[in-house]
Amino acid sequence: MKLVEITKTGFDVELDIRYASNNNFTSAPIYSRPRCFLNEEAAENLQIAIILAKQMGYRFKLFDGFRPTEAVQALWDHTPNPDYLAPPTSGSPHARGAAIDLTLLDGNGDEVEMGTGFDAMTVKSHHGALDISGLAQQNRATLLGIMTSAGWDFYRNEWWHYQLFKPRRYPTLSDAAANTKMMVSE
C-alpha cells in the first residue's frame, strides 16, 4: 500500500503533529519526526474536504494521520483506554493510513472553538456533547458536514477523528513497512 505525504504546501494545510512533540496526552514525543501520511484514498478525500472547507472560509490544521503500529502500541501502553484509542490487536484505522485527526482554522488562521482540545479523553469530546457552548456545537457540526461530504466516516467519541469507511480493507503498517521514518531519528 502506498502512502502519500501530506505537506503544508502540497495540501494547503497547517501541520501540528502532536505525537512528535510533548504536546500530547503522554507529555512525551512518540514520533521522532513530525510527518503526516495517508493512504491514497484518504489523501484524495482530504483534498475534497480541503476544497469544501476553503469554499466556506476555513482551512485545516492536522494533528495526526498515519500512525505506525509501533506508535499505536506505545500510546496503548501509556493509556489503555478503548473509548479513545484502538487496541493494537484490533488494528487502528490510523495504522492503515485511513484516519486523520484535525480541526478547522478560521480566515485568520486561528483554531475555531471546539469545546475541548485535541485528544481530550472526556465525554465533552463526543459528537453531540451537550455541555459545550453553542458555538463549539456549530463548529463541530461544520467540521462533521465538511468531512462527511468528502467521504469520511466519523468516530462518535472524538470530534477531531475521521476515517475512511471500512478501513480494515487496508493492512496495518509498521514504520519500517511504510518506510515513513517517523519512529527513528536519521
Q: Give the catalytic positions in this structure.
A: 158
Distances in Å between the Cα of 116 and the Cα atoms of 6, 37, 119, 132 are 25, 25, 8, 8
C-alpha to C-alpha distance for 25 and 34, rounded to whole angstroms: 16
Please check whether residue 99 is in contact with residue 93, taking contact to mean a CB–CB distance below 8 angstroms: yes
